[in-house]
Amino acid sequence: MIDLKDIIHHYDSNTAVSLPDLKVESGDELLVIGLSGSGKSTLLHILAGVLKPTKGILSVNGTDLYKLSESKRDAFRGKQIGVIFQQMHLIDSLTVTDNLKLAQFMAGVKVNAGKIKDLCMELDITDKMHSYPDELSQGQKQRVSIARAVVNEPSLLLADEPTSSLDDKRSEDVIALLKRMAERTGSTLIISTHDSRVKGHFTNVLNLDGKQEEAV
Ligand code: ADP
Ligand code: MG
């Protein structure tokens, strides 16, 4: 379960996120909505364990993430949290396969080429497994970043605005894909969006609009 308590984040004097209480049960889905600047990316970075909030507690399956040392938190993230950020951060000097192998290696799990192949098949990128990221279309890059996020079967899968640059059909496909990936491994799925097309796919919705003003 994800449990956020009294989370506040300031970058400078402005409050970017203020959330008194948020719980998401294991295996559940949550859609985080809000206008640009409402704090969606900030919240997802906090949930991913890469941005320590100014105040508050984040517990993921009973582990208080920001009480861990940075190296323990990195290890925890590698095994338990899969992230698809807006900037995909694929390693340009490595092929698709090697980017995925690196994700396994970094998490300290056994490099498993068979699993990578199966995943690429499911994501329809088998013909690109030996290509480099800059040889891929945006959609293909995004599927590689989804593959990388799910390759270690994380208990928490996060995606920041995964559909913002996609047309309606591809947007539907990506949401369905993320849901399928999360369901298969029983992962909690948290997606952020300002894209109203996505709303109909989720029953559990958190709207961040106006939250910063409330905190001031
Ligand atoms: P969203 O993803 O909903 O567009 P963000 O979380 O990116 O919102 O931003 C929330 C607020 O925090 C905005 O006012 C933004 O300008 C500010 N902000 C985001 N990142 C930084 C940063 N690295 N330094 C200073 N302010 C930031
Ligand atoms: Mg954002």
Q: DSSP string of 24-41?
A: E-TT-EEEEE--TTSSHH
Is 159 in contact with 150 (CB distance < 8 Å)?
Answer: no
User: Which distant-in-sequence residues (6+ apart) come within 8 Å of 127 by Cβ?
Assistant: none
Taking CA atoms, 22 is separated from 1, 18, 93, 121, 207, in Å, by: 10, 11, 39, 36, 12
Instruction: Give the pTM.
Output: 0.93
Neighbour-count burial of 79, counting CB atoms closer than 10 A to its CB (0-12 exposed, 13-18 middle, 19+ buried): middle
d(CA 150, CA 158): 10
For the Cβ of 38 lying below 6 angstroms from any atom of ligand 1, the answer is: yes
pLDDT at 31 over 70: yes
pLDDT tens by residue, 47-97 = 999 999 999 999 999 999 999 999 999 999 989 999 998 887 899 999 999
- pLDDT classification of 35: cutoffs 50, 70, 90: very high
Q: Return d(Cα 60, Cα 47) in angstroms, integer.
A: 9
Q: Is 53 in the pocket of ligand 1 (CB under 6 A)?
A: no
Give the per-residue pLDDT at 213. Answer: 57
Any atom of ligand 1 within 6 Å of the Cβ of 42:
yes
What pLDDT does residue 7 have? 96
Q: Which residue's CA lies nearest to atom 10 of ligand 1?
A: 39
- Ligand 1: residue whose CA is nearest its atom 26: 11
* Res 211: pLDDT: 73
CA distance 207 to 154: 25
Give the number of whichever ligand sits closest to the CA of residue 87.
2
Whether 10 is in the pocket of ligand 1, judged by its Cβ within 6 Å, is: no
Report the separation in Å between the CA atom of 82 and the middle of ligand 2, taken as the mean of its atom positions.
17
